[in-house]
Amino acid sequence: MAFAITIPYIDSLLALPGGQITAFIVTLVVLAVLFEIILSILLKILSFIVGKTETTLDDRILHVLGRYLPPISIVTSLWISLEAVYPGSVLVANMSAFDLYLIVMLAIGGFLISSLADSVLVWYGIELRPRKKAVHEKEVFPFVRNVIKIAIILVFIVFILQRLGFDTTAIITGLGIGGLAVALALQDTLANFFGGVHILIDKPFKEDDYIKVENSVEGTVKQIGWRTTRIHTPAGNEVIVPNSKLAGSTLENYSNPSELSGVSYTLGVDCKEDIDSVEGLMTDVLQRTAKKTGMIDAPSIWVRFDSFGDYALNFKFGYSVKGYVNRFAVLKEVNRELFYTFKKNDVSIPFPVRVIYNRK
């Protein structure tokens, strides 16, 4: 493919001593300097814009572009100079200047896109995922990053070979079969990886949050990895949950310690007790505990007679606790106060009783 590129004063340059060679060198130098000035202004403007954002992803992308834009501008300057001074020239293996330019640009583009993908993964591993200690870039997903970079470069190599006239059908078929085999082998790994990406971008929870997973696992999130999330349960155990399961589960997040979380419990007393008296005693206990602990929202306290049990009168009581993780410590104080208050007022908490009548 030939291009008719006209540069102002090209005839004057051709008239200089050395003819086409001098015109080519002067054109190349002028274009290279001009592109360098434009790139410098553009990069400074972009740097100012990305400096105003909170994320560091755009800074990393701009850093990559800053490495690859200069060689792109030089190659473009070389191509324009060749087309302007030597129009329609055939260089190597019957390829025009544009053919060579396109091949070189494909090679640079492959490395550029692989570097951009690598930057996104590094940003994800260091910036987006909070950690307790600093992590070096080499420690962030080394295997995954290498696989992705090699895959991208292989795709661009196929494009280059097609441009050079090679039959790439066998190569594409081999890469397709190999890619399918790798995808099947890494199906669970990839599902967990993208589950982790979903968690960290959507942020249904973060490290140190207290969560409950579909009425099963609950505890404090200690680490969000690229495959799994580690949760410390109230019993002191560590539960490792695949990210794909968390991303597709219903979660309850009790993360904000200043938020109020409602809790309720059931307590049975002897059937001979006075209902109104028991309700009053339980309300007094909850009010005292609220003042003592400072973790109960006093206006949210409630007590009610709920039902007749097999051997007890069942009362429900509840309140809003400040910080869901504090509910255990608060319940401990509530139970202690209820026990001693009932004991002091001769309120019986019954145990299961079965009466058997023997008829003769």
Return d(Cα 150, Cα 157) in angstroms, integer. 10
pLDDT at 228: 83
Give the start-end residues of each E strand in the chain.
210-213, 217-224, 228-232, 238-242, 251-253, 260-269, 296-308, 313-322
- Mean residue pLDDT of the chain comes to 82
- 232 and 304 both lie in a single domain: no
Please tell me what DSSP assigns to residue 265: E
- Residue 182 is predicted with a pLDDT of 63
pLDDT in tens, 47-85: 888 888 877 888 888 899 889 999 999 999 888 888 888
Residues 27 and 118 in one domain: yes
The answer to whether 263 and 325 have CB atoms below 8 angstroms apart is no
* Amino acid at residue number 213: V
Co-location of 234 and 285 in the same domain: no
Q: Give the pLDDT of residue 315.
A: 94
Answer whether residue 206 shows pLDDT above 90.
no
Q: What is the pLDDT of residues 308-328, one digit of tens each?
A: 988 899 999 999 988 777 888
**One domain for residues 37 and 151:** yes
Same domain, 54 and 148: yes
Helix extents (H) in 232-314: 243-247, 275-293
Q: What distance, in Å, lies between the first and last C-alpha atoms of the chain?
A: 114
Contact 36, 115 (CB under 8 A): no
Angstrom distance (rounded) from CA 270 to CA 272: 5
Which residue segment(s) compose the domain that 237 sits in? 205-253
Banded model confidence at residue 286, pLDDT cuts 50, 70, 90 = very high
Task: Decide if pLDDT at 7 tops 80.
Answer: no
Paired sense of beta strands 260-269 and 238-242, if any: unpaired
327 and 277 housed in the same domain:
yes
Instruction: Please state, in angstroms and rounded to a whole number, the distance separating the CA atoms of residues 145 and 118.
Output: 6
CATH number at residue 221: 2.30.30.60
Would you call 338 exposed, middle or buried from its count of C-beta atoms within 10 A (0-12, 13-18, 19+)?
buried
How many Å apart are CA 67 and CA 17, to the nearest integer? 36
Q: Find the largest Cα–Cα distance for the chain.
A: 136
Sheet holding 228-232, edge to edge: 238-242, 228-232, 217-224, 210-213, 251-253
pLDDT at residue 342, as a whole number: 93
Residue of higher predicted confidence among 8 and 22: 22
Six-digit token pair at 344?
């002091």
Confidence class for position 289, pLDDT limits 50, 70, 90: very high
Q: What is the pLDDT of residue 128?
A: 58
The whole-model pTM stands at 0.54
Same domain assignment for residues 49 and 154? yes
User: Is the same domain home to 43 and 147?
Assistant: yes
Integer Cα distance of 75 and 301 in angstroms: 75
Query: Residue 48 domain-assigned?
Result: yes
CA distances from 15 to 24, 80, 105 (A): 12, 19, 32
Task: Measure Cα distances from 191 to 20, 183, 187, 296, 337 in Å.
Answer: 59, 10, 6, 42, 50
Q: What is the mean pLDDT of residues 221-250?
A: 83
User: Quick one: average pLDDT of 212-239?
Assistant: 82
Residue 200 lies in a domain: no
* Residue 196 within a domain: no
Is 358 a member of any domain? no
Q: Total structural domains in the chain? A: 3
